[in-house]
A = this chain, B = another copy of it.
Amino acid sequence: MAQNIYDDPAFFQAYSRLPRSKGGLDAAPEWPSLRALLPALNGLRVLDLGCGYGWFCRWALASGATEVTGVDLSARMLDRARDMTPEPGITYVQADLESFGLRDASVDLVYSSLAFHYVEDLQGLFRRAAAWLTPGASFVFSVEHPIYTAPRAPGWAIVDGREVWPLDRYLQEGVRTTNWLADGVVKQHRTIGTYVRLLREAGFTLLAIDEWGPGETQIQHNPDWARERDRPMFLLIAARRDA
């Protein structure tokens, strides 16, 4: 079972104050890029793994999805989701992604934002996701970029008077424990090569990899985002379930 850090009161309170928690999808700078990887949602049955407050579930429904299921490990998170996005048409399910099950070929899009780097058995999850999806259907997700999760000491450092990202341990996959919002947050570090291999082994064809960075307009509005171009923070992936 994955660590349930989102039910830690201190973590949850800090998380609630993040722009992306308060402001929804539009407050997440990578959202336009992730949205660009999605198929047209009209008529689709959609599954959101790690749905958080349900912002994406609401957006999917408004974009024409016929059924939307949001899954999250955190009961606190789902309470908030049911408060904020109570639309009929959305079903919220409290479950661990490590073991969550669903009927075969019952979903037309599996989506996930920034949840899979908490999952230990991603091979198992990808295989189950392939079974839930209809042939040719879409699998679109984001994770923290491995360049971001790899280092022993993730944070900017000064070398020769310049700010750099002190990369190490990139090829050493496994647990990373960081102090983001709360102490002892446990993540799984995986290389891009591993994400691609797990997808293929599960029966997916890779369609796109987007190593997100802020665009010119975003930097004009938020000049302090410029350094995000020095190392990618998010990895966005689109795949298609093989027929």
Contacts and interface: CB of A to CB of B under 8 A. Distances in A.
Interface of A: 147, 151-153, 157, 159-160, 162-172, 191-193, 196-197, 200, 205-211, 213, 228-232
Contacts of A159: 153, 157, 159, 166
A157 B170 CA distance: 16
A197 to B, nearest CB: 7
Main DSSP-derived SS at the A contact region: mixed
Contacts of A170: 147, 211, 229-232
A171 B232 contact: yes
Contacts of A171: 211, 213, 228-232
Contacts of A164: 151, 157, 166-168
B152 A162 contact: yes
Contacts of A167: 147, 164-167, 230-231
Contacts of A168: 162-165, 230-231
A193 B206 contact: no
A208 B197 contact: yes
A209 B232 contact: no
B209 A169 contact: no
Contacts of A200: 207-208
Contacts of A208: 193, 196-197, 200
A228 B168 CA distance: 9
